Amino acid sequence: MELIWNQININIAATSVMTRMVLPDLEAKGRGAIINISSVGGSSPQPMIEVYAGSKAYVDYLSLGMSGQCARKGTQIKNQIHLNDYVWFSGVTIQDITPAYVVTDMAKAHGEHVKESFFMPNPIRYSSHALSTLGFSNKTCGYWTHSLQMALGNLFCKLNHLVIKMIFKILSEN
């Protein structure tokens, strides 16, 4: 039970409270950034780590919601992608970073042979890449191989659903 409450307190309560605490000062200054860390694991249900996954999904939605809230309070500027459209920008960036595995003590606790690889960067490499995305996107995996892993994972989930639907359709016709 202690592990469950720790995950809820850290990922949900602390993230919500800290975001709410610093946001008014950043908005008053008209600039700043809040970076919240969710997880690729929060992008879909995860058996055996469902509380962790659910709490990370919360961080994702909190960040996206707060980002929209900040934008609505801001000033109107030209959208750089669609120049005929306007977007609201408060000067405050709220970014959600959704990493996959990074070689940390937490990752090592879940596997004996966790070491840096093409898909699993060390914290220095990961944070350098993640920080370079600040201001470009309010949601990022932070590292290009993590984005690739997430895209492939989403593709496999969609294909899996399509295959299951096709099997049920075939079975129901017989």
Closest residue by Cα to residue 126 from 144, 153, 108, 138: 144
Residue 10 and residue 59 in contact, taking contact as beta carbons nearer than 8 Å = no
* Catalytic, out of 52, 101, 126, 143: 52
Are the beta carbons of 62 and 16 closer than 8 angstroms? yes
Query: Superfamily for 2-173?
Result: NAD(P)-binding Rossmann-like Domain (3.40.50.720)
pLDDT tens digits for 111-132? 667 788 888 999 999 999 999 9
Q: Which two tokens stand for residue 40?
A: 């690729």
Given this model, what pLDDT does residue 81 score? 43
Check if the beta carbon of residue 38 is closer than 8 Å to that of residue 59. Answer: yes
Low-confidence ranges of the chain (pLDDT < 50): 75-85
Q: Return the pLDDT at 66.
A: 85
Contact 14, 5 (CB under 8 A): no
Q: How many CB atoms lie within 10 A of CB 70?
A: 22
Whether 52 is a known active-site residue: answer yes
Global pTM value: 0.75
Strands 139-140 and 75-78: unpaired
**Which contacts (CB < 8 Å, 24+ apart) does range 56-62 have?**
56/11, 56/98, 58/11, 58/12, 58/15, 59/11, 59/12, 59/15, 59/96, 60/96, 60/98, 60/139, 62/15, 62/16, 62/19, 62/36
Instruction: Give dist(CA 98, CA 96) in Å, integer.
Output: 6
